[in-house]
Every structure is written in C-alpha cells, then in structure tokens.
C-alpha cells in the first residue's frame, strides 16, 4: 500500500479449473465486511449443494489485517491458506475468493490440492479487474 491507497477488485469474477477429474470453480468478490463474506458463502452453498467442498479466504481493510481462510473439510492447510497466499501475492484486500470443488473420483493428495486451489484462485484473480482504492483516515 502506498500513500493511503490499496488494491482490491472492481467487480465479481470467476474461473474454472479441471484437475484429474475434479472440477474447481473459483469466484472472487469485492467485499467490505464479514457480513458480506457470509452472504456470498451462503449463496454459493445454496447454489451448489452438490459440491464436495467450498473453500475460501478473505482479506478486509487497507492492510488486509482482518482475514480468514477455510479448508472446509479438505486436509488442513491444503485449500484456504493457498487461496489466501495467492491473494496476498496479488496484494488485494476487501476481497473474498471462494473455490467450489466437485470431487472427480481421483485423489489429488495434499500437494495436488494445494496446487489446484492456488491455481484456481489465481485464475479468478486474473479475471478480476484490480483497482486502487483510497483508504479512509480511520482505516489507516
């Protein structure tokens, strides 16, 4: 962040990844509160009830100081943290990235899951338009 500005995304974006018969559909949403994060996750669960997992990460605030990551039943550290890591490498905040997974019958193993979730998140963020937003004085 430089001179009171930070990066976020302008509008929702999505991308699809197929990895060894599993399908990953990644979504990036601009958000400003945990309430918005919960609303997006609820909508995804309702829209895709047959999904095996809906893993996610979010960052809020100009510095991304408020954050969380969820593996949603995947092995610990194999989904939420790679998604969060991709968000941090792009430098976005006020953003939620959720990846919906449908198991395709072939296990990917932890390294394969990490790579797939990281790539799915990267694809969604590549599809999103990254913008700079002014940080409010209270948030800095």
Establish if 140 belongs to a structural domain: no
- Single pTM value for the model: 0.90
- Per-residue pLDDT at 22 exceeds 90: no
Instruction: Name, in order, each residue with C-beta under 8 angstroms of 70's C-beta and a sequence gap of 6 or more.
Output: 55, 56, 57, 79, 80
Establish if 36 belongs to a structural domain: yes
Establish if 105 belongs to a structural domain: yes
* Boundaries of domain holding 115: 5-134
Bridge partners for 30 per DSSP = 95
If one counts the domains in the chain, the total is 1
* Cβ-contact 17, 24 below 8 angstroms: yes
Q: Which of 108, 6, 7, 98 is nearest to 53 (CA)?
A: 98
Establish if 94 belongs to a structural domain: yes
| CATH value at residue 15 | 3.30.230.30
51-102 pLDDT, tens per residue?
999 999 999 999 889 999 999 999 999 999 999 999 999 999 999 999 999 9
Establish if 41 belongs to a structural domain: yes
- Highest-confidence segment of 14-23, 80-89, 130-139: 80-89
- Per-residue pLDDT at 104 exceeds 60: yes
């Amino acid at each position: 962040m430089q001179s009171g500005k930070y990066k976020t995304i302008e509008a929702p974006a999505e991308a699809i990844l197929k990895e060894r018969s599993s399908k990953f559909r990644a979504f990036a949403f601009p958000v400003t509160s945990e309430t918005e994060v919960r609303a997006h996750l609820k909508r995804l669960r309702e829209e895709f009830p047959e999904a095996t997992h809906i893993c996610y990460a979010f960052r809020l605030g100009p510095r991304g100081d408020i954050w969380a990551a969820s593996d949603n039943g995947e092995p610990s550290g194999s989904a939420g943290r790679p998604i969060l890591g991709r968000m941090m490498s792009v430098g976005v905040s006020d953003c939620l990235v959720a990846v919906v997974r449908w198991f395709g019958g072939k296990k990917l193993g932890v390294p394969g899951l990490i790579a797939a979730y990281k790539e799915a998140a990267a694809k969604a963020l590549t599809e999103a338009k990254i913008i700079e937003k002014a940080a409010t004085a209270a948030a800095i």
